[in-house]
């Protein structure tokens, strides 16, 4: 995938500087630079100009380094000793996260004439990759790397103190915060929306955006049979009755109306794919697409959005919440408001809150999910429910960044192509690989390590599923195979099963025995683990092994709310002025979430919180 991010030199000061500072430069920096121009200029001008006064070059130089998903390629335009333009010409970073960070990094690098840009919160790997690519480009331009390695100086030591008065302050610009803001704005309120990252979206941006629509007009028109009662039954069954029923009731009874609003051109006007045959619809452009649209609509409706501005504490007077304090890059804010809606997402990125039993699995959620609202609401003695439940899923690899990555598109293809199966650290099969996720999770938990074993056809299908979903590239596969299990993701190949077993440190002969038993089970038509078997593992190599992990991302516990979306304290009384929406609310799901319902809850509870606040402040 080729993507282009461009930062053009805005400062005439800098241009003046480069004219005087680079006696040898023969080519003026272009005032605007397109990718096509840059390529031409690269061809014409990459020979460094060297004189007695300076060794600096003029032209366009390239640097490349590993980002979160694949390489980040930067092109810098140099005039004398000055970088006059930075373009990121290629990357595959995550939409709304790494992708959103790149222009920020490029601008910082250009404005400060440095490769040592600050890490953009939530996009550490992208920031590291950008810095490394810049260093390579700067070196190839013959510029002084040390001179261009000064850390970005903070523009201010004393931050300005700003007081804002508004009707509603919403904390967190994920799906719940955006829908809460938009519904409150449409109800006539003034809204300030705070986001601690430099981009909106949180976990919502990372999600597939399958959204529950039970009780909606669309579902009725599309002839899907469903009801609030059925949804409630499914949530309770799926969550093994660990759900908090009053929260379930809020969801099942309001999700239809919220979904109608979400897709209504007069409402949130978010694009969803139709028709559906289940109770969920998929947002166009996945979670990232839904977030982008919602953010645009919040801004169009007059919402004041402050990025990189975390809320730090609640303003509490006489037990009532009257606003928040927040801290931006250049200012600290006191925001007085009639109502505060907390929409800070989950707490999966905070090891102090994630129960220890889950911490041995790999985290695959948003970096900003640090449970800030859980900490902030201690000031009002907020009641918390289901904090012991974290959503775990099987079929995951660990990316080089250390983050967990779901592999459903790969695993699905592999099992269809031939007889792939899973083994544990003893080289033995241990579960129905294609059974329910919950059962596979329980079985994987019992083992120290688990590996997916594949033949050539299933390995090709696995990777086709993953590359087709733009999760990684064929070049990544080549690199990882060469790496031979030395670092994540563990993906190894060999001519024989025993070659693979040796690298994975499985007991000699165990994998061959597992394959024979598996193929016999296919012939006999019965599997000891209850998998319905039809395809054998090939008798010929090569074979492959991929280490599979349990990953966790969404958290299922959090604030206790009432039917008006108000936060309750430990005496079960509503805290005046304080509302919550989205994953920060506990209890909807029980011990595992029902597909589509968390994203659906973010949309629904955000809408509900916005409308409740409007009722309250009228």
For ligand FAD, the binding residues (CB under 6 A) are 171-177, 194-197, 201-204, 206-208, 210, 310-311, 343-345, 364-366, 368-369, 372, 553-554, 582-584, 595-600, 602
Tokens describing residue 133: 């690519």
Residue nearest to ligand FAD (CB): 174
Nearer to ligand FAD, 111 or 313 (CB): 313
Q: Which is nearer to ligand FAD, 70 or 210 (CB)?
A: 210
Nearer to ligand FAD, 76 or 206 (CB): 206
Pick the closer one to ligand FAD by CB: 133 or 598.
598
Are β-strands 362-363 and 71-80 bridged in parallel, bridged antiparallel, or unpaired?
Answer: unpaired
Q: Which two tokens stand for residue 113?
A: 């004439």
Smallest separation (angstroms) from ligand FAD to the CB of 433 = 21
Nearer to ligand FAD, 67 or 606 (CB): 606
Min dist. Cβ of residue 461 to ligand FAD (A):
22
Q: Could you write out the DSSP letters of every residue in 186-216? A: HTT--EEEE-SSSSS-HHHHHS--EEE-TT-
CB of 216 to ligand FAD, least distance (A): 16
Q: Which is nearer to ligand FAD, 393 or 458 (CB)?
A: 393
Q: Are strands 71-80 and 57-66 parallel, antiparallel or unpaired?
A: antiparallel
389, 587 in Cβ contact below 8 A? no
Q: For ligand FAD, give the closer residue by CB, 194 or 515.
A: 194
- DSSP character at residue 471: S
Rounded Cα gap, residues 257 and 516, in angstroms = 55
Cα distance from N-terminal residue to C-terminal residue, the chain: 50
Least distance in angstroms from the C-beta of 581 to ligand FAD: 7
DSSP string covering 120-173: PTT-HHHHHHHHHHHHHHHHHTT--TTGGGPPPPPS-SSPEEEEEEEEEEEE--
- Residue 326 CB, shortest distance to ligand FAD, in Å, is 7
Q: Which is nearer to ligand FAD, 207 or 510 (CB)?
A: 207
- Coil/strand/helix, residue 519: helix
**Whole-angstrom Cα Rg for the chain:** 27
- Shortest distance (Å) from residue 127 CB to ligand FAD: 16
- Round to whole Å and give the CA distance between 226 and 209: 20
Q: CA distances (Å), 42 to each of 35, 38, 95, 141, 144, in order?
A: 10, 6, 28, 11, 20
- 522 CB burial (10 A radius; 0-12, 13-18, 19+): middle
Q: 58 or 203, CB closer to ligand FAD?
A: 203
CB 177 within 8 A of CB 183: no
Q: Which helix (H) or strand (E) holds 334?
A: strand 331-342
- Residue 305 CB partners (closer than 8 Å, separation 6+): 173, 193, 195, 200, 295, 298, 299
Beta strand 450-455 with 421-424: parallel, antiparallel or unpaired? antiparallel
**What number of helices (H) and strands (E) belong to the chain?**
19, 23
Tokens standing for 428? 């033995």
Minimum CB separation of residue 479 from ligand FAD in Å reads 23
The least CB distance from residue 196 to ligand FAD, in Å, is 4
Instruction: Give 76 or 101: the residue with its C-beta nearer to ligand FAD.
Output: 101
In sequence order, the 6+-apart residues with CB closer than 8 A to the CB of 252 are 214, 215, 228, 229, 231, 232, 235
Q: What's the CA gap between 148 and 566, in Å, rounded?
A: 51
Distance from the Cα of residue 304 to its chain's centroid: 24
Nearer to ligand FAD, 329 or 508 (CB): 329
Nearer to ligand FAD, 421 or 553 (CB): 553
* Smaller CB separation from ligand FAD, 129 or 283: 283
State the minimum distance, in angstroms, from the CB of residue 39 to ligand FAD. 36
Q: Give least dist CB 364 to ligand FAD, A.
A: 6
Pairing of strands 320-327, 543-555: unpaired
**Pick 14 or 397: Cβ nearer ligand FAD:** 397
Q: Is there a contact between 433 and 559 (Cβ–Cβ < 8 Å)?
A: no
CB 349, min distance to ligand FAD, A: 10
Please answer whether residues 110 and 134 qualify as being in contact, where contact means their C-beta atoms are separated by less than 8 angstroms.
no
DSSP state of 418: S
Smallest gap from Cβ 353 to ligand FAD, in A, equals 13
Q: How far is the CB of 210 from ligand FAD (least distance, A)?
A: 5
How far is it between the farthest Cα atoms of the chain?
83
Give the residue with the Cβ less far from ligand FAD, 196 or 531. Answer: 196
Helix (H) or strand (E) run with residue 568 in it: strand 566-568
**How far apart are CB 134 and ligand FAD at their closest, in Å?**
26
Q: Are 398 and 389 in contact (CB under 8 A)?
A: no
C-alpha 590/C-alpha 390 separation (Å) is 9
* Closest approach of ligand FAD to the CB of residue 553, in Å: 4
């Amino acid at each position: 995938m080729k993507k282009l991010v461009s930062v053009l030199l805005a400062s005439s000061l800098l241009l003046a500087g480069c004219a005087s500072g680079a006696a040898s430069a023969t080519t003026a920096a272009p005032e605007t630079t397109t990718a096509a121009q840059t390529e031409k200029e690269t061809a014409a001008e990459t020979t460094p100009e060297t004189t007695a006064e300076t060794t600096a070059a003029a032209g366009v130089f390239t640097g490349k380094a590993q980002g979160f998903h694949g390489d980040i390629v930067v092109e810098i335009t140099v005039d004398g000793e000055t970088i006059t333009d930075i373009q990121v010409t290629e990357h595959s970073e995550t939409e709304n996260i790494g992708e959103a960070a790149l222009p920020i990094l490029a601008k910082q690098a250009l404005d400060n004439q440095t490769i040592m840009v600050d890490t953009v919160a939530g996009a550490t790997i992208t920031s590291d990759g950008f810095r490394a690519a810049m260093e390579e480009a700067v070196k190839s331009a013959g510029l002084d790397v040390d001179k261009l390695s000064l850390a970005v100086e903070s523009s201010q030591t004393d931050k300005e103190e700003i007081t804002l008065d508004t009707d509603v302050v919403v904390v967190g610009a994920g799906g719940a915060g955006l829908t809460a803001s938009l519904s409150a704005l449409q109800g006539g309120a003034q809204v300030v929306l705070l986001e601690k990252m430099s981009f909106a979206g949180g976990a919502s941006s990372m999600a597939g955006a399958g959204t529950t629509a039970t009780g909606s007009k669309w579902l009725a028109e599309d002839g899907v049979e469903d009801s609030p009662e059925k949804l409630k039954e499914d949530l309770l069954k799926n969550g093994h009755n660990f759900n908090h029923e009053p929260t379930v009731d809020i969801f099942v009874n309001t999700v239809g109306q919220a979904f109608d609003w979400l897709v209504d051109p007069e409402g949130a006007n978010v694009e969803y794919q139709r028709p559906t045959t289940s109770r969920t619809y998929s947002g166009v452009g996945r979670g990232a697409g839904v977030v982008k649209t919602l953010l645009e609509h919040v801004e169009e409706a007059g919402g004041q959005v402050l990025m990189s501005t975390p809320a730090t504490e609640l303003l509490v007077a006489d037990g009532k919440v009257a606003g928040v304090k927040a801290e931006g890059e250049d200012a600290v804010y006191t925001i007085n408001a009639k109502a505060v809606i907390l929409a800070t997402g989950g707490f999966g990125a905070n090891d102090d809150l994630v129960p220890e039993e889950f911490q041995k699995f790999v985290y695959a959620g948003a970096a900003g999910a640090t449970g800030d609202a859980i900490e902030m609401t201690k000031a009002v003695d907020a009641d918390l429910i289901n904090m012991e439940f974290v959503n775990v899923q099987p079929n995951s690899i660990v990316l080089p960044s250390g983050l967990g990555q779901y592999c459903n598109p790969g695993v699905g293809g592999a099992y269809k192509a031939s007889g792939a199966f899973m083994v544990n650290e003893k080289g033995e099969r241990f579960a129905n690989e294609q059974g329910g996720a919950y059962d596979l999770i329980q079985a994987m938990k019992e083992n120290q390590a688990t590996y997916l074993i594949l033949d050539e056809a299933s390995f090709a299908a696995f990777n086709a599923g993953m590359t087709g979903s733009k999760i990684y590239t064929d070049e990544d596969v080549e690199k990882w195979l060469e790496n031979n299990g030395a670092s994540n993701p563990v993906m190894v190949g060999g001519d024989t099963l025993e070659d693979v077993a040796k690298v994975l440190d499985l007991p000699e002969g165990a994998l061959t025995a597992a394959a024979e038993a598996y193929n016999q089970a296919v012939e006999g038509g019965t599997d000891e683990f209850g998998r319905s078997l039809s395809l054998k593992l090939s008798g010929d190599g090569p074979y492959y092994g991929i280490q599979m992990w349990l990953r966790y991302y969404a958290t299922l516990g959090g604030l206790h709310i009432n039917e008006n979306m108000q936060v309750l304290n430990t005496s079960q009384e509503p805290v005046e002025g304080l509302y919550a929406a989205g994953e920060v609310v506990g209890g909807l799901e029980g011990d595992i979430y029902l597909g589509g319902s968390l994203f659906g809850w973010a949309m629904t509870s955000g809408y509900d919180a916005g409308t409740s606040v409007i009722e309250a402040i009228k």
